[in-house]
Amino acid sequence: MTPDSILLDAQDRMEKAFDHLKGEMRGVRTGRASTALVEYIRADYYGSPTELKAIASISVPEPTQLLIKPFDAGAINEIRKAIETSDLGLNPIVDGKQIRINVPALSTDRRKQLVGHVKKVAEDTKVSMRNVRREANKQADALKNDAKASYPEDEIETLKKEIQELLKEHETKVEELFKAKSEEIMSI
């Protein structure tokens, strides 16, 4: 590996961790209906766990209601069971060939729990980013000890500094996303 490839790999992996965090944050309930609340729930569809967005159309007909229309009417009971067993506290109502979900307002205690959950997810993301930094630094040290590559020691140190700056940049993005989501949860 070269110093550039190590840095690019670390950046790519940190971006993926951040993108995963954004997806997790979208799924956190804030009191208003959002398709992201349920689209990643997995329902048993002919023996395999499948995300709802792949087996149904999900829409928001009203600010506090979700409407799920399965592409296959035979999957409606499995979708209902999946929503009921998720930790979202939602109560799906089967209405013919569709499912309606009324999203209740959040209590203050529930809001605080959600902020705690969001903080935990953000911290887990930071930990995974730090693990990426650690692995990248190990790769940089391996370059230093590799007789064939013969990279100067100052180039290896510069690489390590760039990896650290990359980590700081991504941790700042995680903090900003956490603060914005916390404010959104507490204000609605």
Determine the pLDDT at residue 188.
64
Segment 40-63 mean pLDDT = 89
133-151 confidence digits (pLDDT tens):
999 999 988 888 776 777 8
**Roughly what angle, to the nearest 10 degrees, separates helices 3-26 and 153-187?**
10
Q: How many residues does the chain have?
A: 188
3-44 confidence digits (pLDDT tens):
889 999 999 999 999 999 988 887 776 667 778 788 888 899
What domains can you pick out in the chain, each with its CATH number?
Answer: 3-26+107-187 (1.10.132.20), 35-102 (3.30.1360.40)
Residues β-bridged to residue 51:
42
84-142 confidence digits (pLDDT tens):
888 777 889 998 899 999 887 777 887 888 888 889 989 999 999 999 999 999 998 88
pTM of this prediction exceeds 0.95:
no
Structure-block tokens of residue 126:
């930071």
DSSP run (H or E) holding 44: strand 42-45
3-state secondary structure of 77: helix
Determine the pLDDT at residue 105.
77
Determine the pLDDT at residue 30.
65
Residue 92 carries which side chain, given as an amino acid letter? P
Q: Which residue has the tokens 């930790």?
A: 87
Half-sphere exposure of 40 (CA within 13 A, CB side): 13
Residues β-bridged to residue 57:
69
3-state secondary structure of 104: coil
